[in-house]
Amino acid sequence: MRILLIRPYHSFQDSNLLAHAKPMNLAYLAAYLLTHNFDVKIIDYEIELYSDASFLNILKRENPSVIGVSCMTPTIKNGAKICAFAKSFNKDIVTIVGGPHANGLPKETMQEFLSFDYLVFGEGEITLLELCNKIRDGRDDNNIDGVVYRVDGEIVQNPPRKLIADLDSLPLPARYLIKSDLKVGHASRGFSNKILGAEVHTSRGCPYECIFCAIQTTFGHKVRFRHTFFIEEEIKHLVNDFHVNHITISDDTFTLIKDRAFEICEIMKRNNILSWSCNTRVNTITKELLMAMRDSGCRKVAFGVESGSQRIMDITNKRITVEQVKQAVSYAKEVGMKYIEGNFIIGSDPSETMEEVEMTRALVLSLPWSFVSISIIVPFPGTPIYNKMKAINQIHTSDWDDFVLFGRLPRWHTDNFSAEDLIRLQRKITREFYLNPKYIFKQIMGIRSWVDTSYWLNAGVNYCKWYLTGKA
Each residue's pLDDT, cut to its tens digit, for the chain (472 residues) gives 999 999 999 876 666 666 678 899 999 999 999 999 999 999 999 888 899 999 999 999 999 999 999 999 999 999 999 999 999 999 999 999 999 999 999 999 999 999 999 999 999 999 999 999 999 999 988 899 999 999 998 999 999 999 999 999 999 999 999 987 656 566 777 777 677 889 999 999 999 999 999 988 888 889 999 999 999 999 999 999 999 989 999 999 999 999 999 999 999 999 999 999 999 999 999 999 999 999 999 999 999 999 999 999 999 999 999 999 999 999 999 999 999 999 999 999 999 999 999 999 999 999 999 999 999 999 999 999 999 999 999 999 999 999 988 778 999 999 999 999 999 999 999 999 999 999 888 888 877 777 777 777 777 777 777 767 766 5
C-alpha dihedral (63, 73, 155, 158), degrees to nearest 10: 90
Q: What are the CB-based long-range contacts (under 8 Å, 24+) for 78-83?
A: 78/8, 78/9, 78/10, 78/45, 78/50, 79/6, 79/8, 79/113, 80/113, 80/115, 80/116, 81/115, 82/6, 82/8, 82/45, 82/50, 82/55, 83/113, 83/115, 83/116
Domain ranges of the chain: 2-157, 185-469
Question: What gap in Å lies between CA 472 and CA 468, rounded to an integer?
Answer: 10
- Give how far the C-alpha of residue 346 lies from the chain's centroid of Cα atoms, to the nearest Å: 19
Smallest CA-to-CA distance from 156 within 164, 146, 148 is with 148
Whole-number pLDDT of residue 182: 58
For 303, phi and psi rounded to 5 degrees? -110, 130
Reduce the DSSP state of residue 93 to 3 states and report it.
coil
Please list, residue by residue across 181-211, b when 16 or more beta carbons sit within 10 angstroms of its beta carbon and e when fewer do. Answer: eebbbbbbbbbbbbbebbbbbbbbbbebebb
For 332, phi and psi rounded to 5 degrees? -60, -40
Smallest CA-to-CA distance from 308 within 343, 279, 281 is with 343
Whole-number pLDDT of residue 14: 63
Smallest CA-to-CA distance from 209 within 41, 384, 33 is with 384
Question: What gap in Å lies between CA 381 and CA 390, rounded to an integer?
Answer: 10
pTM of the model: 0.94
Smallest CA-to-CA distance from 84 within 116, 40, 38, 39 is with 116
Whole-number pLDDT of residue 194: 73
Helix or strand (DSSP H, E) at 410: none
Q: Are the beta carbons of 199 and 61 closer than 8 angstroms?
A: no
- CATH architecture label of 2-157: 3-Layer(aba) Sandwich (3.40)
C-alpha dihedral (269, 452, 408, 13), degrees to nearest 10: -80
Are the folds of 2-157 and 185-469 the same? no
Smallest CA-to-CA distance from 421 within 389, 380, 377 is with 377
- CATH architecture label of 185-469: Alpha-Beta Horseshoe (3.80)
Whole-number pLDDT of residue 151: 93
